[in-house]
Structures are given as structure tokens and as C-alpha cells.
Structure 1
Amino acid sequence: MLIAHSPDADDIFMYYAIKFGWVGMKDVSFDNIALDIETLNEATLKGKYDIAAISFALYPHVREEYAPLRTAVSFGEGYGPKLIKPKGAKLKKNFKVALSGKYTTNAMLFRIAYPHARITYMNFLDIEEAVKSGKVDAGVLIHESILTYADELEVEREIWDVWQELSGGGLPLPLGGMAIRRSLPLNKAIEYEKTLTKAVDVARGHKDRLSKMLIERDLVRVDAPTLDKYLELYANDDSISLSELQYKAIDKLYELGFRHGFYDTLVKIEDYLIPTQYESLRNS
């Protein structure tokens, strides 16, 4: 079974309990591929992978073909992507901005908040340099770059603050999760979700050991202190399994997207989950 995820540290961390053999599934061999998040979003639109990391904002577009997993989720709580610019720069109403992809959560929220901005999409790894070089006036940083951007740049606005204003406050910011193909046998899909949930749980329980192994093998792009800080942001105990508050946050995101014309229908995330009750019914 191939699992597609992004190359950022939280996805690597949440998957590698499987890669290192700490968690497994009988008669199933797991492999992985790391691709930038918008590449994964577009691949999921085309139905390329059975299990893939996606932006939460993408999910309503693939709801008929994929189910959201309850695990390996990343939310912001008082933090998130950052709109950055050169220090001292004044942004015009129609400033040119680099975003990490059309279907990312930060892009949807940005487009709602800044309808007059001129948008260009690029790989998230190239955004900081595009701002520094003047190719764009500003850019939205994601993943580890929110902690490591250059001193000559400054934050114009936090996407967390955009989210608070648009959502009314009181909810974490839904950023990314995992999706699984609906055409897989249901009993297998349930087992895949359980295995991935256990992997995230085990990773959290052995955070220090796993983090050390990832750094020693050059599997992450940051040093040990930055990795530790980053994992507490995006691969924390709230990443193991979706909570009621997180469900509410995702539904609010989809309500905003529907209201602003990004979706053709109003989606409630819990309506599309894998029906785990099938397992008990099957064994009754």
C-alpha cells in the first residue's frame, strides 16, 4: 500500500513509525512517496493514490471518490501560515502574492480576505526566495518556513487572524489531513485507518527517539530544536484522532467555502467518514 504525504516534518514524523517497522498491518506492505501538498491535492483530484495527504480545503471537491481519515491531521491553534513581505514594504490593494497552491486551505482563506490580490502559485519551497528577490510583493509561508524565514522579511498578517475573523473565533484552524479511496474494500479501509492512527499515536509516544532518528537520517529539513517546536505545532496529541471541536472547525471552513463560491454544495465532514460501525456489525 502506497501512502502519499508531503515532505514537511509533521507528515514525515506521523508516517515513519510505519517506515521504521514499529507499526504494521498483517499481510500488507506499506511504502511512501513524499510530494508537495499541491501536487498531492491535484493527484487526489485525478484519483492517483489510494491514501494521500491533502489540504482540508480540497476535500469537498473529492468527497465522492475519497473518505477523510480521522487521523494524521494538522490544525493551527493561535498560529498557522504567514503572509510575509520585505521589511518596511507597503502592500497595495492589488499586490502580487505567491501561494502554495489553488486547493490549499491557506489559499482559500487568503482569496476570501484579499479578493483584489494578484495571485501566482508555486511550490511552497520557492515562496520565500520569490519574495526576497522581488518576483512577488508578498507570499504565504507554510510548513517549517513559518519558523525559519529570513531576517529581511516580516509578517504582514497571520492566516490564523484571517481565520479568526472569518470563522467568528473559538475554533482551531484546519490545515491538512489524509484521505482514502472509497473503492477500497470497507474492512480494509477500516484497518488502514486504525493502523495509521496507531502510527501517529506511537510516534507521539516516542517523539524524542523518532525525532532523533529522522534527523540522523536527514529525513527532515530542520535542526533538532526547530523540529521539536514544529512537531508541537502540527504533529501533536491533537493529530492522533479528530475531536468534536476539530469537526466543528472543518465544517466552518466548508461553510465559508460554500458561502464564497468555492464549493457547489455544503459539506459536513462527519457525513463522509469511513463507517467504522461496519466492523462491529460484520462481527456480530
Structure 2
Amino acid sequence: MKIAFSPCPNDTFIFHALVHGLVPNAPKLDVMYADIDITNDLAAKPNGPDILKISFAALPWIQPEYTLLPCGGALGRGCGPLVLTKSNNPDPRALTGKRVAVPSERSTAYLLFRLWAAENVPGGVGEIVVMPFHEIMPAVRDGKIDAGLVIHEARFTYQNYDLNRLVDLGSWWEEDTGLPIPLGAIIAKRILDISSISNAIRQSVEYAWDNPTASEDYVLSHAQEMSPDVAKSHIDLYVNNFSANLGDEGYEAIYSLLGRAAKEGLVPEIDLSTLRWDK
């Protein structure tokens, strides 16, 4: 069975047990490690991997052969994307007409940015440049772009690049809605035994929590020169109860994000009730 997810610590931590045959009766996995921009694109094309980690913002574009799983993803509070600049000017209007780098045009981060910018950047930003997330901060530091939308461990390391936080989009979203931020989703092909796949992923999450040091070598081997402390902070921030079960609050957050974005014309409108198969 083919699966594609990112090399980020939260994903490798969650899937460590499943990938290494530590979940009883689970299928053997053929793993592809890829940035979210790549997996979002794969999900929108026919004949993609059996299981994928994508952005929740990409759900309106996925092939009808896929369905959302209720576990394995990333939602949370205090873990949202940041907009970084070299300047310490705190006025969002300074982004008007500027070049901004984003990790994916179909990422939750970019969708939140567009919703925020529509309210806070009169006239809109200028050019949007898509680049791998680990290249964004150096590009802002070196003046190649004016601002960068960053995710993941950049929350803990942006000061190392002498950058300034213009806005925490997670805080903005939480204050605006009272809901957690729906970041990364796990989808699987409908022809699979969705209940069994979900149970296997949930068991992998629970194994990771019960054996927190078991995955250390695996996590760090894919963490792109990240320090162990930063990797642990990353896991602590993005792996939580929503990773084991989206629950009613998780689904409400997803419905709110995609419903609001569709109303603003930022994503195609979909029947949100079809996203939940476990009720």
C-alpha cells in the first residue's frame, strides 16, 4: 500500500509504528516522503497513492476516489502559520503590492493568509511565490522576497534569521472563530477498508505516545538538520488529541474554514457533510 506524507517530525512520529510494522495486522507500507505542495498536487490527480497527508485547504480539489480520515492529521491551537518580514514595521498595510512566499497555493496556511489579507491589506499583496517551506526564511532574510508565510518548526527558529513576526495567523483565526486550526489532513482511497485503515493509524498514534523515544532516530533522520529539541517542540505542538480523533470540534473547524473560504470564492464549494463518514 502506497502512502505519502511529509518528512516533518509530527508525521514521522505519528506514522513510525505503522511504517515499521509495529501495528498488528496493518498493511505493509511503501512510503513516499514529500512536501505538502507535492502531496496536495498528487491528491488532485488520478491514480495517486493509497493514503496521503494533504492540507485541509486542498480537500475541495481532491479526486472523488479519496475520503477524509478521522485521525492522523494536524489540528490545534497556538500552532498557526506566521507571516514574517525583515522589517519590524507592524503595520499589515506594508504588504500592499509586495512579493510574498508561500509553501503551497492549496495549503491551509495560504488560505488563512488570504482570508486575513482580505481584511488587513488594502489593495492586496503583489506577487505570490511558491517555494519549499524550508527555503522561505532564507529568502526573506536575503531580500529575495518581501515577506514569507511559514509553517512547522519555523515558529521556533525564525529569530535565528533575524526576522520579525508580522502576524500569527493561528491566533487571528482562533480569536475570530474560537476554533482550532485545521492544518493537515489524512485522506485514503474509498475502495480501501477505511475503518481498518483509520484504526491502524490511530494505533500508530497511540504507540507513539506510549513509546515516545522509539521513533527518535527515524524522526531525526528525516528532520532536515533539525535539532532534537526543536523536533520535540514540533511534535508536542502538532500531535495532540485531534491526531487520534478529529471529533466534533475538529470537524466544526474544518467546516468553518472551508465554508468561509467558499463563500469568499477562494475554494470550490463542496458538500461539507460528505467529509464525515463515521456518523
Common fold by TM > 0.5: yes
* 1:46 correspondence with 2:54: no
* 1:140 correspondence with 2:149: yes
Assess if the C-alpha contact under 8 Å between 2:103 and 2:149 holds in 1: yes
Shift of 1:72: 0.8
Equivalent residue runs for 1:178-193 within 5 Å: 178-182=186-190, 184-185=191-192, 188-193=193-198
Separation in 1, partners of 2:155, 2:246: 24
* 1:106 correspondence with 2:115: no
1:175 to 183, 196, 221: 183
Deviation string 1:193-218 (CA, Å, 9 cap, x unpaired) is 21111111111221133235533xx2
Separation in 2, partners of 1:8, 1:173: 18
Instruction: Say if 1:63 and 1:33 are closer, same or farther in 2 by CA, change over 3 A.
Output: closer
Partner of 1:30: 29
Residue type of the alignment partner of 1:203: A
- Bigger Cα displacement from structure 2, 72-81 vs 82-91: 82-91
Deviation string 1:83-122 (CA, Å, 9 cap, x unpaired) is 0111425734222110011100111111122241121111
Instruction: Say if 1:263 and 1:151 are closer, same or farther in 2 by CA, change over 3 A.
Output: closer
Three-state SS of the structure 1 residue aligned to 2:267 is coil
Query: Structure 2 unaligned runs (5+)?
Result: 119-123
Shift of 1:274: 4.0
Shift of 1:29: 1.8
Shift of 1:262: 2.3
Partner of 1:281: none
Equivalent residue runs for 1:50-69 within 5 Å: 50-62=50-62, 64-69=64-69
Separation in 1, partners of 2:189, 2:51: 6
* 1:76 correspondence with 2:76: yes
Separation in 2, partners of 1:111, 1:196: 32
Assess if the C-alpha contact under 8 Å between 2:68 and 2:188 holds in 1: yes
Residue type of the alignment partner of 2:241: D
Residue type of the alignment partner of 1:79: C
Separation in 1, partners of 2:258, 2:99: 26
Separation in 2, partners of 1:30, 1:24: 13
Separation in 2, partners of 1:224, 1:236: 19
* 1:258 correspondence with 2:254: no
Three-state SS of the structure 1 residue aligned to 2:269 is coil
* 1:228 correspondence with 2:237: no
Partner of 2:133: 124
Three-state SS of the structure 1 residue aligned to 2:104 is coil
Shift of 1:267: 3.4
Separation in 1, partners of 2:95, 2:254: 31
RMSD of the TM alignment (CA)? 2.0
Residue type of the alignment partner of 2:186: M
Q: Which runs of 4+ in 1 moved over 3 A?
A: 212-215
Residue type of the alignment partner of 1:127: I
* 1:96 correspondence with 2:99: yes
Separation in 1, partners of 2:207, 2:229: 21
Partner of 2:121: none
Residue type of the alignment partner of 1:157: V
Residue type of the alignment partner of 2:248: E
Shift of 1:63: 6.2
Separation in 2, partners of 1:16, 1:122: 27
Residue type of the alignment partner of 1:178: I
Shift of 1:13: 0.8
Residue type of the alignment partner of 2:213: D
Assess if the C-alpha contact under 8 Å between 1:80 and 1:160 holds in 2: yes
Separation in 1, partners of 2:242, 2:213: 17
Three-state SS of the structure 1 residue aligned to 2:64 is coil
TM-score (normalised: structure 1):
0.87
TM-score (normalised: structure 2):
0.88
Partner of 1:158: 168
Three-state SS of the structure 2 residue aligned to 1:209 is coil
Query: Structure 1 unaligned runs (5+)?
Result: 278-284
Partner of 2:212: 207
Shift of 1:22: 1.4
Separation in 2, partners of 1:104, 1:24: 33
Three-state SS of the structure 1 residue aligned to 2:214 is helix
Deviation string 1:6-31 (CA, Å, 9 cap, x unpaired) is 111101111111222211435x3212
Residue type of the alignment partner of 1:104: S
Identity %: 27
Shift of 1:144: 1.6
